[in-house]
Structure 1
Amino acid sequence: MGGKPRYVGVAERRARLAWRHRLAGGAGAATPEEVAQSLVALHGTDPATVYLGVGARLAEPGGTVPATERALYEDRTLVRMHGMRHTVFVFPAGLTAVVHASTGLAVAARARAALIKDMAKAGAPDATWLEEVEESTLAALARRGQATAAELAQDEPRLREQFVYAAGKSYEGVHTVSSRLLRLLGVEGKVVRGRPLGSWTSSQFRWALAPEHPGLEVAAAQTGLLRRWLASCGPATEADLKWWTGWRVTDVRRALAAAGAREVRVDEGTAYVAEDDVDPVAGPAEPWAALLPALDPTAMGWQQRDWYLPPELWPSLFDRSGNVGPTVWWNGRVVGAWAQRPDGEIVWRILDREGAGAEADAAIARQAEGLRGLLGPTRVTPRFRTPLEKELAA
């Protein structure tokens, strides 16, 4: 492209986030599928995050739980599976083949090699034995339709066998074949998580055979995934893209070129937008507030987050592993945190008062009231707890 790349300032980046992540007034989605399409992926490590992330973006959030359960477990228009960075996400069903080819194959190869290596160090059976158990497990799952690891072990008792991991190290532990193998099969795209045993907040999932999808060429899949993500999250720097995808920098650069991504300038330096997305974007007419759950894909969307999350808030809002807790948003930036107390009350605290006065307080209070209505009698505790969330919930 000729000329100097256009500068995209913080205000415009926040405007893009507001519209494309369906957080601004009037931007709400009609269905969970529309939310997932807009975000590319919903973070699925904490089951509650999927539902709360959808509810925060629906125009009519009252039916969030049944609508999301329908999409996940009846219509199968949303699929919970391993994706970028060896992490569990919920994707639109039409994107699963792209995700598997672009990110899953490389992760799966490393995961299988690691499992075989760990078992060999522990003196456990070899790769041939593991393949036999795998075939038997998949056959049992095909017969049952959906099953827990314990149920599958009734059909394939070798799943109960254990081996010592990292013997002699400070993090030594005992692994069960079922836990490691089923996770591996998930990364390889052979199984997916099905309906949980308990409520929608439960992390005790059944397993099901993964839906069949066409095999795609890796480079083409990477280009397709990057185009989708830039349309949702651009502008993004090369560091953002490498972190979010988990790819090598050479893969990121090849996909950027193949996608025809356009260079722009942001405060961090060179960034990229989709080929047809270079025009300025105006912000919402009205200010907006949001209460987003722990690990929400907007809060975790970029590696470089200073433009929407002040660095001084990190110690209060993140755990030691870099997982973000529940966040309070005002006009495109994180200003504080929220939590649910044992009696169901939604409480929050604003840590950054810049531009967040009485109007913000009133808007956040309305969001909290709506969230309490969505939750009803359900109590939600984030899987990865952060300092301020724990303090507020106490």
Structure 2
Amino acid sequence: MGAQGRHIGVAERRARLALRHRLAGAAGAAGPEEVAGSLVALHGTDPATVYLSVGARLTDSRRTVGEVERALYEDRTLVRMHGMRHTVFVFPAGLAAVVHASTGLAVAEKARAALVADVVTGSGGRLTEEWLAEVEASALAALARRGEATVNELVRDEPRLRERFTYGAGRSYESPQTVSSRLMRVLGVEGRVVRGRPLGAWTSSQFRWAVAAPHSGPAPSEARAELMRCWLRACGPASEADLKWWTGWKVTDVRRALAAAGAVAVSLDGGLTGYVADGDEGPVAGPGEPWAALLPGLDPTAMGWQERDWFLAPELRPALFDRSGNVGPTVWWNGRVVGGWAQRADGEVVWRVLDAAGLGREGHDAVAAQADRLSAWLGATRVTPRFRTPLERELAAG
């Protein structure tokens, strides 16, 4: 990684964000593949986030729903799968094997061991590891025959998926679970099944499942280096703490990946050390014109770094984040978060500025235009974030 290089201040970090995250007007993307490629990953825990994140960055947001559905379910150029921090993301298809090798394999090994232990222990030994393997093989065969299926459809083909066991017996979090729900999640983490079209509208979280196409990926160390290169090109400079948080890797894996990727150290405000991709040390000019954006809850820009003071004032966090650290819908002006937004029951998109410094009439009008743009393409669709935050709840209630 070499010695610490030049200084990259807040203004340049915001310029990089504006351009590389496709948020400034001239940097808008033509399609969802460009958006996902620029951001590396779109948060997929809340299905609506994928569409809203893409729509905020397309030059023609009216095409958002159709284009995202095409990429996810027809062309398969985007893939919804488990990735960093045990979280569901949408990745460019070409990056799926890299993500799985760098992150998914380790997560899958732990998830598989936990599934077996929980099923056996939680059933009092009634359900065994051999029994689970037999049910799993039967369920996968049924899924292959159907092509795509919901869990309820698979249960009709393999009734043993209905079996229940007790998770966390005797603990405060004790709860009954079905074999089907845990098994499908583990198969997804292992990359053996993928989520298909949802039931109902694009905001639905009830997905069909399909058998995943077999693929071979690079060695985990090579995959971590490649994922690091991709992420630094999108989000650099970033600190070691940012990288550890975003990847969910051990700090030793982060450091090895930084070295293998040839990352270059730079200085950041506050005395921090950051890293950029090799060849990306040069200065980056701003977009040339002010910009505004309304980004959804869990948007990858707002969630991209652990250390966010350079674009989000600490005093705004209680209103814009839930207790688990999930960000809600945010209003942006020239590279910083200035407030939040929500959609009311009648469909109106409403917003509030929490930090008006530097906003002025120009900023107010630009944010209002983005709200009108969002309202126009949402139309009759109503979107409620999966993880609700204090300001979003207040605005939505009217």
Please name the residue that 1:313 is paired with: 316
1:224-239 to 2 correspondences below 5 Å: 224-239=226-241
Alignment of 1:179-198 (within 5 A): 179-198=181-200
Match in the other structure for 1:240:
242
Which residue in the other structure is 1:300 paired with?
303
Q: Check if 1:367 corresponds to 2:380.
A: no
CA distance in 2, matches of 1:3, 1:40: 27
Per-residue deviation at 1:267?
2.1
TM-score by length of 1: 0.98
Structure 1 segment 1-394 matched on structure 2, within 5 A:
4-122=4-122, 123=124, 124-268=126-270, 269-394=272-397
Deviation at 1:358, TM superposition (A): 1.2
Secondary structure of 1:321's partner? coil
- Percent identity between matched residues is 73
Q: Displaced runs of 4+ in structure 1, greater than 6 A? A: none
Q: Distance in 2 between matches of 1:174 and 1:232?
A: 42
Which amino acid letter does the alignment assign opposite residue 12 of structure 2?
A: E
| 8 Å contact from structure 2 (residues 4, 264) kept in 1 | no
3-state SS of 2:27 partner:
coil
Please give the per-residue CA displacement for 1:28-62, whole angstroms capped at 9, x wherever unaligned: 00010010000000000000000000000011111
**Aligned partner of residue 225 in structure 1, secondary structure:** helix
Shift of 1:104: 0.1
8 A Cα contact 2:2 2:265, kept in partner: no
- Say which is worse superposed, 168-177 or 377-386, in terms of deviation: 168-177
1:18 Cα deviation after fit: 0.3
CA distance change for structure 1 residues 6 and 131 in 2, over 3 Å: closer, same or farther?
Answer: same
Supply the RMSD in Å over aligned alpha carbons. 1.1
Shift of 1:16: 0.3
- Secondary structure at the aligned position of 2:25 is classed as coil
Q: Which one-letter code corresponds to 2:268 in the other structure?
A: V
**TM-score in terms of structure 2 length:** 0.97
The answer to whether the 8 A contact 1:96-1:213 is kept is no
Uncovered stretches (5+) of structure 2, i.e. residues with no partner:
none
Secondary structure of the structure 1 residue equivalent to 2:71: helix
Unaligned runs of 5+ in 1: none
- How many residue pairs match? The answer is 394
